[in-house]
Structure 1
Amino acid sequence: MERKYPNLSKPIQIGNVVFRNRMFSAPMGGTDITADCTIGPKTTAFYELRAKGGAGAVTVSEVVVHPETEGSHMFHLDLKTVGSLSSFTYTADAIRRHGAIASVELSHSGQYAGTYLTDKDKKQGLAQWGPSATVRPDGLEVKELTQELIDDIVEAYGKCAEAAKRAGFEMIMVHGGHGWLVNQFLSPYFNHRKDQYGGSLENRVRFAQEVLARVRQAVGPGFPIEFRMSGSELFDGGYDLEEGVRIAKILEPQIDLLHVSAGTYQRGFSDTHPSMFKPHGSNVYLAAEMKKHVKIPVATVGGLNDPDMMEEIIASGKADVVEMARALLADHELPKKVVTNREEDILHCMRCFVCMAERVVTSTRRCSINPYIGRELEGMEITPAPVKKKVLVAGGGPAGLKAALTAAQRGHDVVLCEKSSQLGGILIGEQAIPFKYEMYKLGVTLAKLVTDAGVDIRLNTEVNKEVADQEKADVLVIAVGSEPMLPPIPGLDGDNVIIVNDYHLHQNKVAEEVVVLGGGLAGSEAAIHLAREGKKVHLVEMGLELAPDANIRHRPILLKEIEDLKIQVLKEHKGIRITEDGVICVNKDGKEILVPGKTIICALGQKSRRNVVSELLDCAPVISQVGDCVKVADITQAIYQGHHAAMDI
Structure 2
Amino acid sequence: MKKYPNLSKPIKLGNVTFRNRMFASPIGATDINADCVPGERTRAFYELRGKGGAAAVTMSELVVHPETDGSHMLHLDLQTVGALASFTFCADSIRRHGAVASIELSHSGQYAGTYMADKNKKQGLTQFGPSDGVRPDGMKVSALTKEQIADIVKSYAEAATLAKRVGFQMVMIHAGHTWLLNQFISPFFNKRTDEYGGSFDNRIRFTLEVLAAVREAVGPMFPIEIRMSGSELFEGGYDLQEGIKIAKAVEPYVDLIHVSAGSYQFGFFTTHPSMFGAHGMNVYLAEEIKKHVSKPVATIGALNDPEMMEEIIASGKADVVYMGRALLADPYLPQKVVAGEDDKIVKCLRCFACMAERPISQTRRCAVNPLIGREIEGTEVPVSRKSKKILVVGGGVAGLKAAVTSAQRGHEVILCEKDSELGGILKCEQAIDFKLEMYQLGLALEAQAREEGVEIRCNTTVDKAYIENIKPDAVILAVGSSPIVPPLPGIDGDNVVVVNDYYKNKEKVTDSVIVLGGGLAGCECAIHLAQEGKTVHLVEMRDELAVDANIRHRPILMKMIDELVNVHTGLQGLSISDEGLLCKDKDGKNILIPGTTVICAVGQRANRHIVEELYDVAPIVREIGDCIRPSNITNAMYEGYHAGLDI
Determine if the TM-score, normalized by the shorter chain, exceeds 0.5. yes
Larger displacement relative to structure 2 (329-338 or 67-76): 67-76
Q: Deviations over 1:276-335 (max 9, x none)?
A: 110000000000001100000000001000000000000000000000010000000000
Letter in 2 for 1:495: D
2:239 alignment partner in structure 1: 240
2:614 alignment partner in structure 1: 616
Letter in 1 for 2:418: K
2:147 alignment partner in structure 1: 148
2:59 alignment partner in structure 1: 60
* CA distance in structure 2 between the aligned counterparts of 1:72 and 1:540, rounded to whole angstroms: 42
**1:418 corresponds to 2:423:** no
* CA distance in structure 1 between the aligned counterparts of 2:288 and 2:148, rounded to whole angstroms: 35
Q: Deviations over 1:334-366 (max 9, x none)?
A: 000000110000000000000011111100011
1:582 alignment partner in structure 2: 580
Instruction: Report the secondary structure of 1:487's partner residue.
Output: coil
Q: Deviations over 1:252-295 (max 9, x none)?
A: 11111000000001213211111111000000000000110000
2:174 alignment partner in structure 1: 175
**Normalising by the residue count of structure 1, what TM-score does the alignment of the two structures yield?**
0.99
Q: Quote the offset at 1:564 in angstroms.
A: 2.3
2:453 alignment partner in structure 1: 454
**1:568 corresponds to 2:560:** no
Q: Deviations over 1:401-424 (max 9, x none)?
A: 000000001100000000000000
2:533 alignment partner in structure 1: 534
* CA distance in structure 1 between the aligned counterparts of 2:243 and 2:125, rounded to whole angstroms: 31
**Normalising by the residue count of structure 2, what TM-score does the alignment of the two structures yield?**
0.99
Letter in 1 for 2:129: G
1:470 alignment partner in structure 2: 469
* CA distance in structure 2 between the aligned counterparts of 1:359 and 1:508, rounded to whole angstroms: 41
Instruction: Report the secondary structure of 1:142's partner residue.
Output: strand
2:601 alignment partner in structure 1: 603
* CA distance in structure 2 between the aligned counterparts of 1:231 and 1:535, rounded to whole angstroms: 36
* CA distance in structure 2 between the aligned counterparts of 1:204 and 1:589, rounded to whole angstroms: 59
Matching of residues 304-319 of structure 1 within 5 Å: 304-319=303-318
Letter in 2 for 1:629: C
Q: Quote the offset at 1:509 in angstroms.
A: 1.9
2:512 alignment partner in structure 1: 513
* CA distance in structure 2 between the aligned counterparts of 1:167 and 1:588, rounded to whole angstroms: 64
* CA distance in structure 1 between the aligned counterparts of 2:544 and 2:195, rounded to whole angstroms: 49
Matching of residues 149-548 of structure 1 within 5 Å: 149-548=148-547
1:648 alignment partner in structure 2: 646
Contact 2:233 2:267 in 1 (8 A): no
Instruction: Report the secondary structure of 2:573's partner residue.
Output: strand
Q: Deviations over 1:542-577 (max 9, x none)?
A: 111110100011101111111222x11111111111
* CA distance in structure 2 between the aligned counterparts of 1:492 and 1:213, rounded to whole angstroms: 70
* CA distance in structure 2 between the aligned counterparts of 1:436 and 1:213, rounded to whole angstroms: 45
* CA distance in structure 1 between the aligned counterparts of 2:387 and 2:522, rounded to whole angstroms: 44
Letter in 1 for 2:578: E
Instruction: Report the secondary structure of 1:569's partner residue.
Output: strand
Structure 1 vs Structure 2 CA RMSD = 0.7
Instruction: Report the secondary structure of 1:317's partner residue.
Output: coil
Q: Quote the offset at 1:507 in angstroms.
A: 1.3
Letter in 1 for 2:632: D
2:100 alignment partner in structure 1: 101
Larger displacement relative to structure 2 (567-576 or 170-179): 567-576
Structure 2: runs of 5 or more not aligned: none
Instruction: Report the secondary structure of 1:69's partner residue.
Output: coil
* CA distance in structure 1 between the aligned counterparts of 2:470 and 2:140, rounded to whole angstroms: 68
* CA distance in structure 2 between the aligned counterparts of 1:202 and 1:540, rounded to whole angstroms: 54
**1:634 corresponds to 2:632:** yes
Letter in 2 for 1:474: D
Q: Quote the offset at 1:72 in angstroms.
A: 1.3
* CA distance in structure 1 between the aligned counterparts of 2:475 and 2:513, rounded to whole angstroms: 43
Where do 4+ consecutive residues of structure 1 move more than 2 Å?
none
2:73 alignment partner in structure 1: 74
Letter in 2 for 1:589: D
Structure 1: runs of 5 or more not aligned: none
2:550 alignment partner in structure 1: 551
Q: Quote the offset at 1:492 in angstroms.
A: 1.2
* CA distance in structure 2 between the aligned counterparts of 1:345 and 1:53, rounded to whole angstroms: 13
Count of residue pairs the alignment pairs up: 647
Q: Deviations over 1:149-193 (max 9, x none)?
A: 111111111111011000100000001111111110110110111
Letter in 2 for 1:579: S
1:89 alignment partner in structure 2: 88
Instruction: Report the secondary structure of 1:502's partner residue.
Output: helix
1:135 alignment partner in structure 2: 134
* CA distance in structure 2 between the aligned counterparts of 1:165 and 1:601, rounded to whole angstroms: 58
Instruction: Report the secondary structure of 2:391's partner residue.
Output: strand
Q: Quote the offset at 1:69 in angstroms.
A: 1.0
* CA distance in structure 2 between the aligned counterparts of 1:238 and 1:509, rounded to whole angstroms: 47
* CA distance in structure 1 between the aligned counterparts of 2:369 and 2:56, rounded to whole angstroms: 20
* CA distance in structure 2 between the aligned counterparts of 1:135 and 1:228, rounded to whole angstroms: 26
Q: Quote the offset at 1:513 in angstroms.
A: 1.2
Q: Deviations over 1:1-49 (max 9, x none)?
A: x210000001000111100000000001111110111000000000000
* CA distance in structure 2 between the aligned counterparts of 1:264 and 1:89, rounded to whole angstroms: 32
Q: Quote the offset at 1:437 in angstroms.
A: 0.4
Letter in 2 for 1:614: E
* CA distance in structure 1 between the aligned counterparts of 2:4 and 2:392, rounded to whole angstroms: 36
Instruction: Report the secondary structure of 2:67's partner residue.
Output: helix
Q: Quote the offset at 1:508 in angstroms.
A: 2.0
2:11 alignment partner in structure 1: 12
1:593 alignment partner in structure 2: 591
Contact 2:399 2:478 in 1 (8 A): yes
Instruction: Report the secondary structure of 1:68's partner residue.
Output: coil
Instruction: Report the secondary structure of 1:585's partner residue.
Output: strand
Letter in 2 for 1:523: G
Instruction: Report the secondary structure of 2:626's partner residue.
Output: helix
